[in-house]
Amino acid sequence: MRIESHHINNIRIAEIISDEVVLRNLEDGLDLLGNVYYQGYDKVILHQQHISPDFFDLKTGIAGEVLQKFVQYRMPLAIVGDFSNVNSKSLNDFIYESNQGKQVNFVGTTAEALARLSM
């Protein structure tokens, strides 16, 4: 895993780049959160392919646990991926509600993520 750094409007945004899944459970989420916080980043971009599919199955509770920590520690997060063909009504509703706020956003491109996080 490496971090690609973006600086926009005096905001430091960490984009996580990896060849493998970096977020499988709450512990991985806390490690990631601590890592970017320790390095002085203000916000995080994480790509869908770096997140375990279990995260997107809301019944597992992983998404709720992890995202709660990002909100609690005031570390805005944008998750980049293709969410257009999600078949779960509860996940669609979750994504919709998340996108109404500024703490957790689900977007289609890195450019969209940077635009959302730079405000």
- Domains identified in the chain and CATH numbers: 2-117 (3.30.750)
Residue-level pLDDT at 7: 96
Q: Is the pLDDT of residue 119 over 90?
A: no
Opening angle at CA 114, ends 112 and 119, nearest 5? 105
Question: What local confidence, expressed as pLDDT, does residue 68 receive?
Answer: 95
Whether the pLDDT of residue 50 is over 90: the answer is yes
Element (H, E) at 44: strand 43-47
Q: Is residue 84 pLDDT above 90, yes or no?
A: no
* pLDDT recorded at residue 64: 94
pLDDT at 101: 92
- Using the Cα atoms of residue 84, residue 67, residue 9 and residue 12 in order, give the sign of their dihedral: negative
Please report the pLDDT score of residue 86 as a whole number.
80
**Average confidence (pLDDT) over 104-111:** 97
Quote the pLDDT of residue 47: 98
Average pLDDT, the chain: 95
User: Residue 106's closest CA among 86, 80, 84?
Assistant: 80
Hey, how many other C-beta atoms are within 10 angstroms of the C-beta on 66? 25
CA Rg, the chain, in Å? 13
* More confidently predicted of 87 and 41: 41
Residue 85 banded pLDDT, cuts 50, 70, 90: confident
pLDDT at 19: 95
